[in-house]
Amino acid sequence: MDNNEQLPGIVLTPEQKKRQRERSIAIALALGVLVILFFAVTLVKGPAVLVRPI
């Protein structure tokens, strides 16, 4: 097999690419909101988060 030869793979239609991109953006936004939520909860709890019995 020649190194320049490409094997046929899954080729997405433009509609499938659009939907995949929209899903990726939705997942990224959901993760971002989750990170911000965890950060906000940590700030609200204050330094008491670090004071706990061992």
Domain range list for the chain: 15-49
Q: What is the pTM of this model?
A: 0.66
CB 31 within 8 A of CB 39: no
Vertex 21 angle, CA 19 and 17, to 5°:
55
Residue keyed to tokens 């940590």? 42
Angstrom distance (rounded) from CA 25 to CA 32: 10
Amino acid letter, 3: N
Position 44 scores a pLDDT of 87
pLDDT for 2-54, tens place per residue? 566 777 888 999 999 999 999 999 999 999 999 999 999 888 887 776 677 77
